[in-house]
Amino acid sequence: MTNTVKRLGIMGGTFDPIHYGHLVTAEAARSRFQLDEVVFVPAGHPPHKQKKKVTDAQHRYMMTLLATVTNPYFKISDIEIARGGISYTYDTVRFFKEKYNGKLEVFFITGADAVSEIMTWKKIDSLIRECNFIAATRPGYSFDNFTSNNVFPQLLISKLAFLEVPALAISSTDVRRRVENSEPIKYLLPETVETYIYKNALYEKEGK
């Protein structure tokens, strides 16, 4: 077995549904940070969405699988779904670190909006020591809030990189709204995911 440290991107999210914004972000991060692979980890029970309706985890897993299968650098893990309970980033990062016996440099990929609330995450002080963070932003996003105040510790700032992704104009919320209102979603997400959504009647108005 090689002693080379693997550079792993972890793309966490609800993926309800996964769309091209997620995929473009993952590929851009893989290229810029020379990641060996990016593993998509659909959340089981996201702690920040406990009061919101979230599509069944198996549907979200299948859509993520369909969306990523054609990219040899993309993998998918059901660790958070299989674990049960609320999904915490710290637990997921530790799972992969232990899987590779520590020979792993982790880059956690998420949106800048999520990073803005990062100090509320479980075991955040330990998490900062465990991995790097890639914050995906829309072009023109202001980084001032991250660098000009005393909310974020210097260690976090030193391990945080920003990645502009034009495709982030696409959002899962908008895709769900479009389906509910019988508006087109073609070209916002892979055709396989679009077909899956319609085949399983996801996001349609209740009683339709």
Reported as a single tens digit per residue, the pLDDT across 66-80 is: 999 999 999 999 999
pTM over 0.85: yes
CA dihedral 125, 78, 20, 106 (to 10 degrees): 40
CA 181 – CA 70 distance, rounded (Å)? 30
Q: Residue 1: what pLDDT?
A: 42
As given in the structure block, the two tokens for residue 181 are 């209102």
Residues pairing with 102 in the sheet? none
CA 139 – CA 137 distance, rounded (Å)? 6
Instruction: Name the average pLDDT for the chain.
Output: 90
In the chain, where the domains are located: 6-170
CA 87 – CA 79 distance, rounded (Å)? 9
User: Domain 6-170 carries which CATH code?
Assistant: 3.40.50.620
Backbone CA torsion sign across 124, 30, 15, 113: positive
